[in-house]
Structure formats: structure tokens, C-alpha cells
Amino acid sequence: MLFFFSVPTSMSQSVWSNSKMLSSSNICLVGCSAEHLSSFQPHHVSSDVSDVSGTLHKDNDYMLGESAPHSSGEAGSTLICSHDRELNPARDGTTTRHPSPALRSCDHHDWNLNNGHQAKRARVENIIKGMTSSPAMRCTEVMTNQYEEKGCMQENERIQELPLHQQLEGQYRQLGQLRTKLNHVDDGTETTYSITEDKYLTCNDSPDTSPSRDRIKLMADVLKYELSRAVSRSVDYIFKSIPLLQTSPNHDGSVETDLSLQSPPSLSCFGNPEVQDPDVQTEALSLVMQKPRLETPDKLRAHPHPKPPVPFPVDSTLQEDVPPEKNQNAVRQQSLRYQTKLDTHWSSVKVRSKVNSRSVRSPQTHTVSVDPVLLENLCLPRVKIEPDSLVKNSLYMLNEGLTTNHLKKAKLMFFYTRYPSSLVLKMCFHDVQFTRCITSQLIKWFSNFREFYYIQMEKFARHALVEGVADVRGLTVGRESELFRALNMHYNKANDFQVPDRFLEVAEITLREFYIAISLGKDRDPSWKKAIYKVICKLDSDVPADFKSHHSG
DNA sequence: TCGGCCCCTG
DNA sequence: CAGGGGCCGA
């Protein structure tokens, strides 16, 4: 049963600060179907549905009674607000990003640096700039770097003299070559680069069309790939160049290195707080950073890169002239070096607050002082390296961060659970190494999902009131309703997932809760939504076993 | 103090 | 979607 209690406004104003006052008016919607709410008519009720005692616990006990199958109720569903187009602001995803003027500025690199050290610095600066500039800029720079590495300078210069759209065309032609090269490199391996996915391979290269969304996607994917590689090289560079850069003998004959204090200007963002706010930089890095990507022996053989353009010191044991067996050992050894260094830092990392995120000089000798906050923000999972499995599946090992597939999966999970417990998250995302960073990101995702969900609910509820919907029974959520379409577009954009009926019921309940609350004028209370959250959090369903199986997507 | 959540902002 | 601030309960 659903009970309504009359609660003075003055009480509802303070319910969250004095939660015990309303403990007797606890309204439990567990097992409450939409029909219970359907009898509600705002003009008949002078009550308050606030139950705000306690917090929105995500304990599993709110699942009780929720796993029973529910009738769809679809037959009776009516189309609510379907005539209202302005409720749904354009979110069709067709927005085309206009080519940034930055696309033209490919020529700011000074690739004529006649000295290897300067070239390295220039390269690092370009990468850092690429991390902080616009996506289009980054993409162009990455592409530029790629082709300059391949001796395509002349082609780029020719392109830059063309009108903008022709520049893009030209770059896409080059992109096609890059794509071919990447496909060749990735032959026979299952990688995370969406560039190798079929749908991107179908990208046509018709020269007379403006840049299509597929092409932008393709560019973005190349960007991701290249950024990932570049950052990987950066980490490698840091680790490998520290002794070269900063080794200074101590009085006792030991060697002390400190990147944070003496890093070269081009690497200042990794440790020099005076040049760039470390938080800003780590923020940017956290968006693009993946685990240092180790190239497999196959890749190394298939990609005999010319040495000069490689800006970062390459482990000599990984050069292409090394026999494959040795390369495997080299990969293993390099991975172990990463692991050792990362573990060294992780074990000594004490999470510090933002205001204390400056690099600190390690008091120990024989250690390297890399800002632990940087490492923390890099979302570098602790790598458990199994030597035997390393060579077999190094790519899997390197792909422990959250991917777009994980995001898609999380969105689909939202159809079942709006407030997943960390246990559920761990069960459903068991293919990722759970660090605090990963956990926080997943929680944040669901927080964002809820935010969108409740915003839609409030919007449609308010519109129903404006439209003069007098009876809450007139508020239903069917698969054809605008509200469901908006939600489905957000969480199931590809529309390739059968949304459970239960979600429609929960959505309907939520919509009615908002409608009731607004009609009662409860939205004058700044915390009026919390009562609704309290109700909705009890309506989570169990996530199907499929989500807990071994494939993430 | 910490984690979780909401809210706001970009 | 991510970052950050504020709030609250454990």
C-alpha cells in the first residue's frame, strides 16, 4: 500500500537536516506497481510523499521483491507529450564539427632541427601541445607527425596550400594509407583500435564530398591511437631518460635522479609546477592515457620504423634487427621494468590533496621521483604480469582501462540498475583492474546517467503539468513515448538492445513522482528531489547474468 | 577522514 | 562525460 501523510511545509523544509522527524512517514515503494501510483490525483491529495529519513543506501536489500517479472503494461501505454517537439532539443548527433582553423596550422613545427636532442624536444612539445589543443588540432598534428615520420613532408605541404576542405580530403587520402598500414600491422591480432573495425573501413574516399561523420570518427580514432602511442613513448622516455638527464653522483657515490626538479623544459609539465599547472596536465593526460603500450614482436617486425624520426629513445633490445625470440624476452623485460617502476611509485604513493599535488623530491637515493599524483591520474592500473601469458596476450594486459565498450555496457546496465553497488560493478566489469580511479570513474558514469534520467523526468513532468494533464494516470511511459525515446537515445543509441519492460515501469513511476511533487509545489524545497531519489533507488532490478559473463561488450 | 552522492560547470 | 565543490553518513 502507498500511504500519504500530511506533513507541514515547515517540516518538509527541514527533513534532510532532521531526518528522524519523518521516520514514521516512511513510504516504501518496494513492490509497488505503477497501478498504486496511478490512483493518485493531485487535486485529491493534500499530503506529502517525503520519506527522507536516512540516506540513499545502495544496499542490496532494496532489491527485495523487485526481481519478479512484471507485466509490460505496454498495451495500455499512451503517447505522452508526443506532440511536443521542443521538449527534445536537437540531440540527433548530426552536428558536424566544422574544421578548425587550427587544421591549417600544420606548419608550425620546426622539423629542420639539425640536432637530435632538439628534435626530441620538439617532438615532446608537439605531443604536449597536442594534448592541450583542440581535437582537430591534435588530430592534424598527430597525422602530420605520422607522415613526417614517413617522409611525407612534401605531401603535407602541398595539402596545406589547398583550400580547407581539400586539405581534409588530402589528409584523408593519407589517412587511408595510414589505415592500410595499421591494418597490416594489426593483421591477425585483435586490438582495441576501432580503426580496424569494418565500419570504418567502409569509409569512402570520394574526393567530392565534405568530411563526413565517419571520417571525423576515423580521424578521432587515429588520434586516439596515436595519442596512446605517443604517451606510451613519453612514459618510456621518462623512465629511460631519467638516468641520462638527471643522474648526479652523490657524495657517497650513490646516484640520485630527480626528474621533477631538473626535467628539461619540454617535459616540464610532468614535473615542473612553475611552467604548467600539474593538475591541468594530469587532467589532460587522464583523458588520453592508457597503459604504456608495448609493441608485440609481430608488430615490431611488421613495422620496421626508420630510426631517425623516432623521437624517444627506443630500447635497443626492441629494435627490429633483434631476433623474435630475443624480442619476446625484451618485451617481457621491458614490461617488468615498467612494473617495477610503477610498483615502486605505487607502493610509496600516498594520495595527496589537490593543493598538495606538487612534485616532491624523494628523500631516498636510488629512487626516481616522478610525481605520484601524475601516476595516479594516469589511471595506470597495477599490472600483474604473468611472464607466461605476457607474450601470449600482451594486448589484453595493456587494455585494462575503461573503454567505450565499457561505457556502452554501463549504459545498458542502467536500464536495470540506477544505483549499482560496487559489488555489482565489479561483477559486471571484471575484465578491468579495479583501482580507485576505475571505480570512481564507473561511479561517476552512473551518477551522470542518473542526472540525465532525472532531468528528463522533471522536464516531461513539468511539461505534462503545463499541458494540463490533471490525472497522474494519464502519465504513462510506453516504448513510443517521447520520454522513452529520449532515454533510449541516450543509453541505447544504437537501439540494438531490448530495453526491459521493468525500466519502462520505473520510468513511469519516476515521472509520476516528479509530477506529483511538482504539482504539490514541493519543488520550492531545494532538496525536493531527494525524496524521489529515495523512492527510485529502491526500484533497481538485478542485472542479468549476461552482463556478468566474460565478454565486456 | 573517507567514500558516495548531488549539483554545477565546461 | 569529467572535474570539482559541498554535503552527509559511516
Measure A341 CA to B6 C1' (Å): 38
Q: Is residue A319 part of a domain?
A: no
Residues in A 515-534 whose C-beta is less than 7 A from nucleic strand B are 527, 529-530, 533
A16 to A48, A188, A537: CA distances (angstroms):
14, 58, 17
Query: Which residues of chain A are modeled with pLDDT < 70?
Result: 1-400, 550-553
Domain boundaries, position A485:
401-547
What is the tens place of the pLDDT at every residue in A302-360?
333 323 233 222 333 333 333 333 344 443 444 434 433 333 333 333 333 332 332 32
Q: Is residue A344 part of a domain?
A: no
| b (16+ CB within 10 A) / e for A316-328 | eebeeebeeeebb
- Nucleotides in chain C near protein beta carbons (<7 Å): 1-5, 8-10
Q: Is residue A438 part of a domain?
A: yes
pTM, entire model:
0.40
A415 to A68, A443, A446: CA distances (angstroms):
16, 15, 11
Q: How many residues does chain A have?
A: 553
Distance CA A187, CA A25 (A): 64
Q: Is residue A245 part of a domain?
A: no
pLDDT for A220 equals 60
Closest CA to A12 of A388, A523, A536, A479: A523
**DSSP reduced 3-state for A146:** helix
Distance CA A198, CA A419 (A): 35
Q: Is the CB of A439 under 7 A from strand B?
A: yes
pLDDT for A433 equals 83
Q: Is residue A448 part of a domain?
A: yes
Distance CA A353, CA A143 (A): 37
pLDDT for A300 equals 31
Q: Is the CB of A356 under 7 A from strand B?
A: no
Q: Is residue A524 part of a domain?
A: yes
Q: What is the CATH number of the domain that holds A496?
A: 1.10.10.500
Measure A440 CA to B5 C1' (Å): 12
Q: Is residue A429 part of a domain?
A: yes
C2 nearest neighbour residue (CA to C1')? A444
What is the tens place of the pLDDT at every residue in A98-125?
333 332 332 333 333 334 444 444 454 4
Strand C nearby residues, CB < 7 A? A 16-17, 19, 54-55, 279, 283, 286-287, 354, 402, 407, 411, 441, 444-445, 448-449, 452
Measure A281 CA to C4 C1' (Å): 15
Measure A22 CA to C10 C1' (Å): 21
Domain total in chain A: 1
Q: Is residue A411 part of a domain?
A: yes
CA A400 from centroid of its chain's CA atoms: 13
- Nucleotides in chain B near protein beta carbons (<7 Å): 3-8
pLDDT for A226 equals 58
Q: Is the CB of A56 under 7 A from strand B?
A: yes
